Amino acid sequence: MRTGGIDSSQIQAMIAQLKAHATRPQATPPVVKTEAPVAKVDFADALKNSLDAVSASQNKAEAMGKAFSSGDDSVSLSDVMISMQKASINFQATVQVRNKLVSAYHEIMNMQV
């Protein structure tokens, strides 16, 4: 019997191969550790670095705004607006992280021990 270009004997042979493969014990491949161990990151250092990055983006936006308002031709209005929006988004994200940290602190403090 022919079904869509493959006859039933070929289908039966494929099914037999799949069943034979499924019943064979699976050999586990050797585990090769190629990654170097990840260095521990201090939470205080990570927080300080992110706050420094937010501060730097705000300072850059402020400096670009002052340069544009003083008439510097090398700074365009679109660059100033983009840097100000980036600084604003960075600050808003920082405020949200702070809010989550304060919320987690309050939850921990209210736990029954």
Q: How far apart are CA 71 and CA 80, in angstroms?
A: 13
pLDDT digits (tens, 9 = 90+) for 69-79: 999 889 999 99
pLDDT digits (tens, 9 = 90+) for 39-66: 788 889 999 999 999 999 999 999 999 9
Under 8 Å between Cβ of 94 and 58: no
